[in-house]
Amino acid sequence: MEEAARPARADDAPRLAELADAARREVAAHRGGPEYLATEAGAPCPEGGRRWVGTIDGVVVGFAAAHVEAVPGASPRGVLDAVYVEPAARGVAVGERLLQAACGWLARQGCQRIDARALPGDRTTKSFLEQAGFRARLLVMSR
């Protein structure tokens, strides 16, 4: 079994749309998910961003999206917009390959900091990001 990540191509668009829909459904099931989707979740890949697909033996089973934001008076900030792998394909390094591809691209764009989001009830995503070296820097409380 060969896990890999590669830049998304135009012919990946239908599969990317399917995976993005699945990701939104999964986010909606978590605490804070519906509000996040309604108020803060942008396009899976803003203008100027990049997308990658994760594969197992050449079959697309996941995706990542990232973009760069300008920060006045500082180096640009990388934003990891999404990393999603189908549940049946998790645990075999596809997510890690996607994260490496996205973070590598962001570093080459001059980003010294990369932000990613995890919902409060999504321990799996939080653990995945912590294992990759991410640490919480802000909690947004809502009432």
* Domain, as residue range, for 94: 3-131
Residue 138 lies in a domain: no
pLDDT (0 to 100) of residue 18: 96
Summarize pLDDT for 103-134 with one digit per residue, the tens.
999 999 999 999 999 988 888 999 999 999 99
Give the C-alpha distances (Å, rounded to integers) separating 90 from 14, 64, 67, 76.
21, 14, 24, 31
Residue 115 lies in a domain: yes
- Kindly indicate the confidence band of residue 45, based on its pLDDT and cuts at 50, 70 and 90: low
The alpha carbon torsion through 127, 135, 122, 59 (nearest 10 deg) reads: -60
* Model confidence, pTM: 0.91
Residue 93 lies in a domain: yes
Report the candidate in 141, 128, 129 with the shortest Cα–Cα distance to residue 31: 141
- Kindly indicate the confidence band of residue 40, based on its pLDDT and cuts at 50, 70 and 90: confident
- Kindly indicate the confidence band of residue 73, based on its pLDDT and cuts at 50, 70 and 90: very high
Does the pLDDT value for residue 100 go beyond 90? yes
Q: How far apart are CA 103 and CA 84, in angstroms?
A: 15
Residue 140 lies in a domain: no
Question: For position 114, which CATH number holds?
Answer: 3.40.630.30
Contacts of 104 (CB under 8 A, 6+ apart): none
How many other C-beta atoms are found inside a 10 Å radius of the C-beta of residue 25?
A: 11
pLDDT (0 to 100) of residue 38: 84
